[in-house]
Amino acid sequence: MLLAELARGRDNNLNLLRIIAALAVLTSHSWALATGNSMLEPLRQSIGVSLGTLAVDVFFFTSGFLVTASLLSRTSAIDFVWGRGLRIYPALVVMVALTVGVLGPLFTTLDPAQYLHAYGTRAYLVYNSTVLSDVINFLPGVFANNPWPGAVNGSLWTLPYEVRMYAALLLAWILLRVAGHRRPSLMRLLIPTAAAISGLLLLLKSSGDAHLGEPGLRLFFMFFAGSSYQVFKDRIRLHTAGAVLAATAITACALFTPRHFTAVFMFTMPYLLLYLAFVPAGLLRKYNSMGDYSYGVYIYAFPVQQVLVALFPGISVLSLLLLSALGTLTLAALSWHLIEERCLRLKQTLSNHTHRLLRLGSTTY
């Protein structure tokens, strides 16, 4: 069946796949945070790439697929900005404020006054609340004695890349306004071109061993690969045979040619992921009624794990994984129902208000 026919509405398994990916990142970090050695993670030992890295690929691919659909269907830069901003920032700002104002004073080795007046504390609050440039991973004296010392939230490094992808997509849309009615067609040409060029550069720079490639380039490729599947969705058919072939290729590379695993994964995972997102139905779709907890899990997991390691020195990897999953899911549910979902409901109202203000401004001068 055509992807375009399946990808209508929100009755799919994307929320489920994203929460699995978020929990995979948590799982991946458990070895590094409990032991201080990230190389002990079993998947990294066997194929040279961590489970967390593969999960981030899934996040960026699905983000590209969904965000591009939003832009091309609404065709409004204002709607796009409000939609993306409300999805990223309210929950992020609350999490960063709690980290700086509550977690930091409790776990810093500094005097509370020293901690609050330190430049690093202010910098962490500003940089990590905006994620417009690189994030800061350290708060003065916080988690200084943990096995993975000083790191407060190692998952946030991907968010500036995510915002840059949004900006690149939006900038292209705005610049192509001069093309008039041809703008959607040109976007459908530009997006796969960006994906193809970045994918080729990634393979050339890594000599086929894609997990050695530049992280920013890799994330750029995954995002625009997702965008490309969106623009070609009326030509892509999802078949069980194709999904089985993709899964077989990934498994075979993991077992027999691990050096090339990541390259094969990056180019076959998208088809398999979209098949799993839109073809299986039934009870799997019930997860959608719970909410989208994936973002909350992603931004809270790392500090929750560091807190547990600080409170229970010598905690095992398995205990850390289970306890942090429980705590993180609780915070993610609260974040979704109290912050994220409520803010997203304001999207259309704020967008309409912005449109009205701009029209009023244009008639004033």
58-108 pLDDT per residue, tens: 999 999 999 999 998 877 899 999 999 999 999 999 999 999 999 999 999
Task: Report how far residue 101's alpha carbon sits from residue 95's, in angstroms, rounded to the nearest whole number.
Answer: 10
Give the residue-averaged pLDDT of 30-36.
Answer: 97
CA 198 – CA 164 distance, rounded (Å): 15
Q: Which of 230, 236, 271 lies closest to 2, judged by CA?
A: 236
Any domain includes 362: no
* Gap between the Cα atoms of 111 and 364, Å rounded: 55
Residue 233 lies in a domain: yes
Nearest residue to 139 via CA among 161, 112, 118, 164: 118
Q: Considering the domain boundaries, does residue 190 fall inside one?
A: yes
Q: What is the reported pTM? A: 0.93
Gap between the Cα atoms of 332 and 91, Å rounded: 10
62-66, 181-185, 203-207: which has the minimum mean pLDDT? 203-207
**Residue 235 counted as domain residue:** yes
Q: What is the pLDDT at residue 41?
A: 95
Spell out the alpha helix ranges (H) of 150-182.
Answer: 159-175
Looking at residue 365, what is its pLDDT?
42
63 vs 227: CA distance, rounded Å: 8
Domain of residue 251 covers 3-357
Q: Quick check: 206 and 162 in contact, CB under 8 A?
A: no
Q: Is 308 exposed, middle or buried (0-12, 13-18, 19+ CB in 10 A)?
A: buried
Task: State residue 338's pLDDT score.
Answer: 97
**What's the total number of domains in the chain?**
1
The pLDDT, as a whole number, for residue 213 is 57
- 365 within domain boundaries: no
Question: In angstroms, rounded to a whole number, what is the distance separating the alpha carbons of residues 106 and 61?
Answer: 37
Q: In the beta sheet, which residues pair with residue 138?
A: 151
- The pLDDT of residue 119 is 96
189 domain residue, yes or no: yes
The set of long-range contacts for 50-53, using a CB threshold of 8 Å and a minimum separation of 24, is 51/24, 51/25, 51/27, 52/24, 52/25, 52/27, 52/28, 53/28, 53/211, 53/262
Residues 132 and 160 sit within 8 Å (Cβ to Cβ): yes
The predicted pLDDT at position 210 comes to 47
pLDDT value of residue 30: 98
10 Å CB burial of residue 269 (0-12, 13-18, 19+) is buried
pLDDT at site 363 = 52
Q: Which residues does residue 142 pair with via DSSP β-bridges, in sequence order?
A: 108
- 251 within some domain: yes
Say whether pLDDT at 362 is over 60. no
